[in-house]
Amino acid sequence: MFDVAIVGGGPAGASCAVFCAGAGLRTLILEREKFPREKVCGDCLNPACWPLLRRLELAEQVRSLPHGKLARVEFIGIGGRRLRVELPAGDEAEIAIKRSLLDQLILDRARALGTTVFESTTVTTLASPDPRTDHWKISAGEQTFRARALVAADGRNSTVARLCGLLPSGGRERIALQTHLPLPPQFGNRVVLEFRPEGYSGQAPVSGDELNLCLVSVPGRMASLRKWAEGRFQISSSHSWRTITPLTRAPISAGQESLFLIGDAARVVEPFTGEGIYYALASAELAAKAISLQRGGGNAGDVAVSYSSAHAQLYHGRLWINRLARAAVLSPRIASAFLGIARFQPSLLRFLTAKIAGTP
């Protein structure tokens, strides 16, 4: 019997395990993949992550892994118009780091603190607590696990949310492709957000010799965006890309009785803002506190309500940035026109970038 079972060992699940195991809870992670693994992501670590990485006692180790330093954002409009905005400098600046490295590091820390980790283990069925059994029964193939609290940290297509009837049905959605490539010469310390008629592309150096390349578009126009990227970065047409959808999804109330949704499982943010990992770490910390409270004798219903409200507060005041970013990227022509205006009002773009790349 575990105090808490966490489904998904990405940044949300693994950091929740670090906080739970650190608080003395018997903690289990069930993860579908075998780490290290890559994942569709721009690999950019928002500066707001640093205080959380310090509390995870991982900040120094993250700095010592290969990463790209990001000194500025360069926006490129459809017509090729460029606009540069400087990013905060210093020890806690924005960096880009491969998810194979970051996610493995956090998972290893969770293990070192006593978390039991099962990799290559896909959760397929759940039985929720009932008056006779005050615990969850979680099944992955032939294996069954028991836990007093359950955490859904299994990403935007959360199996836990689906099995609990909480996953909103998706409409027609955009898709993203992602890959790593040799770093083009003289790419520089910048993250590039390039608008195209079909969608947009994000580019960031993840080390001295590798580039992260993401493409975002609607399904019907992705082939054309991909063709553009193949020409631009000399990629073979047989190159294999990672892919994910949806990019937008209605949020789910994060606290249910003895069930805590964290990271993308609870709410997804526009990739363009590069904030998803921050929210994964921050919601993981909130959930771990709530679970400790419940294990200490707190009423499960009250704990769920207060976790939901703390979770909503995390996003409060920042959702407008997301809406703005989404509006911009859903209409790359408007975004390009905005860049034209922002050239004469650079303080506006500087303000928006500082909002995204600053500490919330």
Query: Binding segment for ligand FAD among 109-117, 231-239, 272-280, 346-354 (CB under 6 A)?
Result: 272-280
| Binder among 6, 11, 295, 335 for ligand FAD (CB under 6 A) | 11
> What does 269-314 look like in DSSP terms, one character per residue?
--GGG--HHHHHHHHHHHHHHHHHHHHTT--HHHHHHHHHHHHHHH
Among 23, 36, 38, 39, binds ligand FAD (CB under 6 A): 39
Q: Is 176 in the site for ligand FAD (CB under 6 A)?
A: yes
- When asked if residue 58 is in the footprint of ligand FAD (CB under 6 A), the reply is no
The answer to whether 161 touches 261, Cβ cutoff 8 Å, is yes
- 315: tokens are 């996003």
* Among positions 244, 261, 304, 357, the unique one binding ligand FAD when judged by CB under 6 A: 244
Q: Does 159 interact with ligand FAD (rule: CB under 6 A)? A: yes
CA atoms within 13 A on the CB side of 314: 27
Instruction: Answer yes or no whether residue 33 interacts with ligand FAD by CB under 6 A.
Output: yes
Q: Which is nearer to ligand FAD, 156 or 295 (CB)?
A: 156
Are the CB atoms for 206 and 66 separated by under 8 Å?
yes
Q: Which is nearer to ligand FAD, 12 or 300 (CB)?
A: 12
- The reply to whether 30 sits near ligand FAD by the rule CB under 6 A is yes
Q: Quick check: 9 binds ligand FAD (CB under 6 A)?
A: yes
Q: Does 94 bind ligand FAD (CB under 6 A)?
A: no
**Cα distances (angstroms) measured from residue 269 to each of 239, 249, 318:** 28, 9, 10
Tell me how far, at minimum, the Cβ of 297 lies from ligand FAD, in Å: 29
> Cβ atoms within 10 A of the Cβ of 80, count?
8
Among 85, 275, 285, 303, binds ligand FAD (CB under 6 A): 275
Using CB under 6 A as the binding rule, whether residue 214 contacts ligand FAD is answered as: yes
Q: How far is the CB of 26 from ligand FAD (least distance, A)?
A: 19
- In eight-state DSSP terms, residue 115 is -
Using rule CB under 6 A, residue 56 touches ligand FAD: no
94: left (phi over 0), alpha (psi -120 to 50) or beta: beta
DSSP 20-80: HHHTT--EEEE-SSPSS---SS--EE-TTHHHHHHHTT-HHHHHHS--EE--EEEEE-TT-
User: Applying CB under 6 A, which residues contact ligand FAD?
Assistant: 7-13, 30-33, 39-44, 46, 122-123, 153-155, 159, 176, 178, 214, 216, 244, 247, 263-265, 271, 274-278, 280
